[in-house]
Amino acid sequence: MLASLLFALTSSAGMPSIAVSTVYITLPDAPSEHLALHCARATPNAHKSVLFIHGASFPTMLASGFEFAPGDSWIEYTARQGYVACGLDFLGFGDSSRPSAMSNPANQAPPVTDAKAAAEQIALAVDELHKHQGITSIHLVAHSWGTVPAATFAATHPHALSSLTLFGPIVPLNTPSQPATDHPAWWTITAQQRLAQLRFKDLLPPGKYLLEPAVDKRWAPAFAASVPHVQGDPAGVLRIPNGPLDDIDNVTAGHYPYDASDVAVPVFVVYGNYDDVVNDAGAVRFLETFTHSPLRWQLRIDDGTHVVHLEKNRHSLYESVNAFIHATEDSVQ
Backbone angles phi, psi at 82, to 5 degrees: 100, 10
Q: Please, which residues have CB within 8 angstroms of residue 35's CB and are 6 or more apart in sequence?
A: 24, 25, 27, 88, 89, 90, 91, 96, 97, 121, 124, 125
Round to whole Å and give the CA distance between 62 and 53: 12
What pairs with residue 87 in β-bridges? 38, 52
* Count of CB atoms situated within 10 Å of the CB of 99: 21
Q: What is the CA radius of gyration of the chain?
A: 19
* Domains of the chain and CATH, by start: 15-331 (3.40.50.1820)
Question: For the chain, what's the residue count?
Answer: 333
18 vs 85: CA distance, rounded Å: 11
Binned average pLDDT, 10 residues per bin, the chain of 333 residues: 38 74 94 96 94 98 97 97 97 97 95 97 97 94 98 96 98 71 91 98 96 98 95 94 95 93 98 96 96 98 98 98 95 65
First to last CA, the chain: 26
* Residue 170 near residue 283 (C-beta atoms within 8 A): no
Interior angle at CA 282, CA 279 and CA 287, nearest 5: 115
Decide: 111 and 118 in contact? Cβ < 8 Å: no
- The span from the CA of 265 to the CA of 295, in Å, is 7
Which pLDDT score, from 0 to 100, does residue 2 have?
A: 31
Residue 182, pLDDT score: 76
Q: What is the pLDDT of residue 180?
A: 62
